[in-house]
Amino acid sequence: MKITILYKFRNTAWGGANQFLHALRNWFVSKGCYEEDPFKADVGIFISYPFNNEDLFGTVHKLKKNTNTLIVNRMNGPIFLYRDQDVAVDKMNFIFNRHVADGTIFQSKWSMEQCHKLGMIPNGYETIIGNAPDPGFFYRPDPSKNKVVGKTKIVAASWSDNYKKGFDTYQYLDDNLDFARFEMTFIGRSPIIFKNINQLPILQSDKLAETFRDHDMFVFASKVETCSNILMEALHCGLPAVARNNSSQPELLGTGGLLFNDTRDVLDAINKVSNNLNYYRSSIKVPTIDEIGANYYNFCNRIYSEYREGKYTRKCWSNMRYYGLTARAHFWEKGTRIKNKLRKINENGNQPG
């Protein structure tokens, strides 16, 4: 069985999905089961929703019409919990999943439950498989370097500057963290100019991992996450974490740190983890890319084998449903651009001048 990933890869830091899918593709390649040409693959893994790459809907439509390729949908979201105006995206994801996807992979139990709660009809083949980073970059440091010298070094990171990524908490820490005891660094984009927190730009995976290993603990304050890759990358680098108690964070963190609810208890959680770094470091339990890759392969192979044996009838994608979905996507994209332009005009109009 040959697998392809229907995704426009970027060879630069480009958000969590891009980084994880690079690692997953590398695993498939190492096992000899990856096919670059989707029209020669037995299974195509589709990433919903393909923001800025809606042409991939056309690729899937051609695969459904002209080949026997099965489509497995890696679900994101629900998206509207990240962006309140994007209920339309979730509806398109649910339509695609119902009429096109032969199987569905959720990244967390939380994501599966929320999607079903919002009206997504369960697929005949569904599973939950999390994420894992590339072990060539993200690995634990030499144990001899675990000893804290001087201040406890905290790190946080976000590729997106969406305020829901936890910037209320990072602002609070910038104002209230005990900087006589702690040193804190933020990596990535931020809508806030910090006074006390050191800030670094977005880093490539090798530099990001090195920076993580140079710190003692990770703070992750995002309010909504399907399955955060940045949190998994930090844990794989041996960083105990303090993470916000919502969405998928409890599933990912496990015993590798402590959860907090808001600014009222985040400092207490940081202090407790800082006082017990070795305990929480030794309690980190995260899946490897070998485990994740094998789970992807086995799930795809289960559908493929039952299709080959005549136990499963592959879904088709009629022209009417294809054009209906792509029309929705087109109008959503146009509407979003207009909303963004109006928002910028409004923001500029409200600036003093």
pLDDT, one tens digit per residue, over 249-293 is 999 999 999 999 999 999 999 999 999 999 999 999 999 999 999
0.75 exceeded by the pTM? yes
Helix (H) or strand (E) holding 103: strand 103-106
Q: What is the percent of the chain with per-residue pLDDT over 90, rounded to a whole number?
A: 82
Per-residue confidence (pLDDT) for residue 342, from 0 to 100: 76
pLDDT for the residue 349 = 58
Fold match flag (3-132+289-345 vs 143-282): yes
pLDDT of 195? 98
Q: Is the pLDDT of residue 132 over 60?
A: yes
> Which of 17-31, 83-97, 115-129 is the least confident region?
83-97
The structural domains of the chain, with segments of one domain joined by +, span 3-132+289-345, 143-282
Q: Which residue has 């299709």 as its token pair?
A: 307
Contacts of 307 (CB under 8 A, 6+ apart): 68, 70, 102, 313, 314
- The predicted-structure confidence for 314-335, as pLDDT tens digits, reads as follows 999 999 999 999 999 988 888 8
Kindly indicate the confidence band of residue 352, based on its pLDDT and cuts at 50, 70 and 90. Answer: very low
DSSP 3-state of 73: strand
What CATH homologous superfamily does 143-282 map to? Glycogen Phosphorylase B; (3.40.50.2000)
In this prediction, residue 310 has a pLDDT band, given cuts at 50, 70 and 90, of very high
Angle ∠(78,83,87) on CA atoms, nearest 5: 55
147 pLDDT exceeds 50? yes
Q: Name 237's Cβ contacts closer than 8 Å, sequence gap at least 6.
A: 138, 139, 140, 141, 209, 212, 213
Q: What's the farthest any 2 CA atoms get from each other in the chain?
A: 71
* pLDDT level of residue 353 (50, 70, 90 thresholds): very low
Please, what is the average pLDDT of the chain? 93
Region 104-119 average pLDDT: 96
Q: Where does the chain have alpha helices with state H?
A: 15-30, 55-66, 87-99, 109-117, 167-176, 205-213, 229-236, 249-253, 266-275, 277-282, 289-308, 319-349
Mean pLDDT of 128-148: 88
Among 3.50.50.60, 3.30.830.10, 3.10.450.50, 3.40.50.2000, name the CATH number for the domain at 3-132+289-345: 3.40.50.2000
